[in-house]
Amino acid sequence: MTNPTDRVLSRAERQAMPVALGVAVEIAKHNGVCIRPVILRRLDTHTGTTEDVNVPCGTTMEAKCPPCAKRNRYLRMAQCREGWHLDAEPSITPDEPTEEQRWLVEFRADTQAQRDAAEKAGDDTTDLDAVLAGLDEEINAAGMRGNLLGRTTAKRNRSTRRRQDAPDLPKRVRQNTTLGRTFTSSDGKAYRPSLFITLTLPSYGKIRAGQGVPVDPDTYDYPRAARDALHFSKLVDRFVQNLRRVAGYDVQYFSSVEPQKRLAPHLHMAVRGTMPRAEIKAIAAATYHQVWWPSVDEVRFEGEHLPVWTERPEHAEPYPDGQDGDYLDPATGELLPTWREALDRLDADEDAEPLHVVRFGPQVDVQGVLSGTPDADQCIRYLSKYLTKSLGDTLDADNPAQRAHTARMTEALRYEPCSPACPNWLRYGVQPKNAKADMAPGRCRGKAHKPEHLGYAGRRVLVSRKWSNKTLSEHKRDRRTWVLEALGLANEPVDPHRYVWKPVPAGDGDIPSLALRLLRMVAERQRWRATLLALQEQAIGQPVQDLSAMRGAA
């Protein structure tokens, strides 16, 4: 092979010379290798040996480094295709935890330990937090329901006036199926039509065509845009509830949340089965979500005048709200209401209004799609188009108007509470949920406030439980099995207790530089790919050009 990257690689390996990280990263990207691998120490309990293993950052499902994001995108496309036009009910049975699930849980525990150690040492935990969030997502995708921490909170009783789950829509008697109807044409052919829906948030002001920036930034409704983005995922949940109620069957969907140029999230949704277009539009129009959080109309603390933390007296039992202190107004000494107290007041106040009501905009696009048509493939590509990008990534950094637009949006999110635990509640005179010392408004580290997320911190891909017969992990395994078979290797089940995974202690002198680790992963990948290529050529008796489609396998 005369690939120039090979020469760089072999020289690096031969002489073990330090390689510029930038070069290694480019080579890794070119080869579809993870550029942010997490290193883990694996103890083989059968042999007693340990080995440091590079785990791709994309082991977690969120788009991470570009090569992992790309690989995940291919997996998502496979998953989407698999479930869209199913003609038999998927069989979903809760299984015993598989080896992979067990591995994930152990990996999560280890990562948590690593994160806590980093926090203790005063290091930045942003990356590890992201890995943890992704792991939780994958653990759920692997079929384990519920929160790992097992925390459940009692549902609050809200007066019926505030119930929001019954919009004025037709209801069909619910049938116990996840499949759509089949139509038979006059020549006896059966059709199984499905839907592709696009939902968008409302307008916040006129937008310059093609550029996605406001015509008049001063009148553009940034506060509303910020809140809509923060609560968008709840709105989507409501839409699905309403869709199922009206459809009269257990509607299944595969959807992705994507950024628009104007920096608002919008949703593409592949739906199994069909309904009249007008009905989908009526459901979107009737769907809303009320945010029952304390009011943020009045700024009570800002600048130098901020609430002060005070420890609670020592107590034999932990305090029921889990706090060991409170914030008080330094001017009056008055304790601020805790999160729970603030919600109780809100519930008791019959005249209270929700903090925010989020709805979709009038632009609802509904397309009928038939399985196996180019249209269906087009939609699947479209659904996964932006999965490798963050919301803020659509921005053209060279365009000053777009930069200004992002800056304004980020500013609008700065003091907006992103969750019950957001430190911004202090600004409005309420203690955040599970308040602790050293919180300050405007300094929330939640994802939603960051310019790359712009208010939407939720999952990018939302897939209903009975979409296909397979979880994403199973799709992954499919590919792996296929490759192993092609290589003539046995895909033997491994003893689930064989390996023990541990984080590698920080400052361990034995860890090679990231550059060297990347190059080793590339070398492995190239060896593997060359073998596969040779096998393919043997099989078909002529040279094979393109292996890119198989990149997702390893």
Give the interface with Zn ion as residue ranges (CB under 5 A): 34, 36, 56-58, 64-65, 68, 418, 422, 444, 446
Residues 6+ apart with CB under 8 A from 351: none
Residue number, 111 or 287, with CB nearest to Zn ion: 111
Rg, Å, the chain Cα set: 26
Please state the closest distance from residue 422 (CB atom) to Zn ion, in A. Answer: 3
Please state the closest distance from residue 463 (CB atom) to Zn ion, in A. Answer: 21
Residue number, 33 or 207, with CB nearest to Zn ion: 33
How far are the Cα atoms of 87, 176, 213, 394, 465 from residue 379, in angstroms, in the given order? 19, 28, 27, 20, 21
Burial class (CB in 10 A: 0-12, 13-18, 19+), 271: buried
Please state the closest distance from residue 205 (CB atom) to Zn ion, in A. Answer: 25
Residue number, 422 or 519, with CB nearest to Zn ion: 422
Please state the closest distance from residue 34 (CB atom) to Zn ion, in A. Answer: 3
Burial class (CB in 10 A: 0-12, 13-18, 19+), 525: middle
Please state the closest distance from residue 442 (CB atom) to Zn ion, in A. Answer: 10
**DSSP string over 481-518:** HHHHHHTT---PPPPTTSEEEEEPPTT-TTPPPHHHHH
Are the CB atoms for 66 and 31 separated by under 8 Å?
no
Residue number, 70 or 85, with CB nearest to Zn ion: 70
Please state the closest distance from residue 443 (CB atom) to Zn ion, in A. Answer: 9
Residue number, 68 or 199, with CB nearest to Zn ion: 68
Please state the closest distance from residue 495 (CB atom) to Zn ion, in A. Answer: 28
Alpha carbon 389 to its chain centroid, in Å, reads 11
CA distance 279 to 324: 52
Please state the closest distance from residue 552 (CB atom) to Zn ion, in A. Answer: 13
Q: Which two tokens stand for residue 146?
A: 């519920």
Please state the closest distance from residue 25 (CB atom) to Zn ion, in A. Answer: 11
SS3 of 420, please? coil
Within 10 Å of residue 445's Cβ, how many Cβ atoms? 13
Residue number, 36 or 115, with CB nearest to Zn ion: 36
Residue number, 29 or 81, with CB nearest to Zn ion: 29
Residue number, 421 or 486, with CB nearest to Zn ion: 421
CA atoms within 13 A on the CB side of 441: 25
Residue number, 247 or 454, with CB nearest to Zn ion: 454
Residues 6+ apart with CB under 8 A from 77: 380, 381, 383, 384
Within 10 Å of residue 167's Cβ, how many Cβ atoms? 16
Question: Residue 75 is which amino acid?
Answer: L
Which of 286, 298, 215 lies closest to 245, judged by CA?
Answer: 286
